[in-house]
Amino acid sequence: MNFDGVRILVVGDVMLDHYIAGQVKRISPEAPVPVVSAAKRWSVPGGAANVARNLVRLGVDVAVAGVVGQDAAANDLRAALAAEGIADGLAVSPSRRTTCKTRVLAQGQQLLRLDEEVSAPLGADEADALKKQVLSLLPGRHAVILSDYAKGVLLESASGCNLCQIIIEEARWLGIPVLVDPKGSDWRRYAGAHCVTPNAGEFDAACGLDAGLTLSRPRRETLAGELRSRYGIERLLITRGPKGMALFTPDEAPVYCRAAVREVADVSGAGDTAIATLAACVGKGLPWAESMHLANAAAGVAVGKMGTAPVSIAELNEALREQADNPKLFSVQNLVEKIEEWRRKNETVVFTNGCFDLLHPGHISLIRQSAAQGDHLIVGLNSDASVRRLKGPTRPIQNESSRALLLAALSDVDAIVLFDEDTPFELISALRPDVLVKGSDYTIDNVVGADVVQQGGGRVYLARLVDGCSTTGIVRKIDNQRDVT
């Protein structure tokens, strides 16, 4: 999965998230509060800017538009956006301060949050300046996100300028989908959007329900239909925390997906990750239901991180791989990234390969000997086409998915990667393992890829063979028994 060439605009309430981290060792003598010995300070883009940050980490070309003040926080935010490679479409207000949230952390826990902000609609000049920025950035985008944090940027201005409606109408004229992360119970400003993504509480508020009310699935679907009809919204995607997500689309059955089961470190920022991933997928042209599943996977990664930390394309691909039928089966690109992760820990990578058509004791012996040579074992598996060329038209007996699944069941195997060539030379050249393993019926001189591994400082190990074990022999024995009967 990649989002090369996708261009997205984010508009909304930008913020600066400032963190102070330290240790608590005593209680203040002045009041019953912990004393934090500050050890580290840092700042990152927050609010709508955090949505943009998530997008750029996915490989999307991003611009963000919002309003900042004439203050140090605005300078810090601009610098942070520039460092991330995010195009700056920020309008400056002489009367508003830049929204800044300062979080104090100790022992991995948040102790305090201090908010510096103005929560009010924009003035006439501010609204006009932001509108000009947005309209200049809109053409050529594949999607627009309206990120509403209820600070006033997306409310109707004092002069009557309804920025949400201006963006939605212009985007529709340009054929650009608009996705909204909403706030509040009045969604009139979002009318005509392609998709609105409330969490469960925001959905309940928009429906006029009491907080925490348990809804049956039919009741939720009815209310979702009423909301869409009331505001002319094409789709509604409800993020339901540990219960996953639900997508409601006209003339189609609702689609539900479960949340990925992960240890939750911090839910802040998960909504930003979800709508960023959803928009990236929609901008790429993926179907909405598939886009929801990808957004759900990304949100699952986000809640496992402390603070408003974005999810990278590598982390998303890893999460998708873990959710697949065979989590040990990698693409070459993803496996190269995994190997880099292992090497950062000074762990040794071992590689062996084969067809592994019918697993037998000889295969198990090879796997065990290979695994003993290092920390992580990668098995290169001949694809079905490769096996046919090597073994004949009646092989393989089991297809590549089945063979990979059986290998994945072996605890000694850490990763499996398919290759379509007759030999694994190109694969070995891409992976550059530390140890290359083949059977002792080879010599080091005729082991494919031995020169590549040795030139990189690695070594070749020749594994002991188990007498009388081969898939060809097993197939021949079965055929002979069939002939006898």
> Looking at the annotation, which residues are catalytic?
272
Q: Is the dihedral of CA 157, 162, 164, 170 positive or negative?
A: negative
In a 13 Å sphere around the CA of 344, the CA atoms on its Cβ side amount to 6
Counting every residue written for the chain, the total comes to: 485
d(CA 90, CA 79): 12
d(CA 227, CA 230): 5
Q: Give yes or no for a contact between 460 and 440, defined as CB atoms under 8 angstroms apart.
A: no
d(CA 470, CA 439): 12
Query: Which two three-digit tokens encode residue 60?
Result: 């999307």
d(CA 18, CA 46): 9
Q: Distance of CA 272 to CAs 153, 278, 386, Å?
A: 17, 10, 44
H-state helical runs in 247-359: 270-284, 288-302, 313-323, 332-344
Q: Is the peptide bond before 254 cis (omega within 30 degrees of 0)?
A: no
Q: Give yes or no for a contact between 67 and 126, defined as CB atoms under 8 angstroms apart.
A: yes
- H/E stretch holding 429 reads helix 425-431
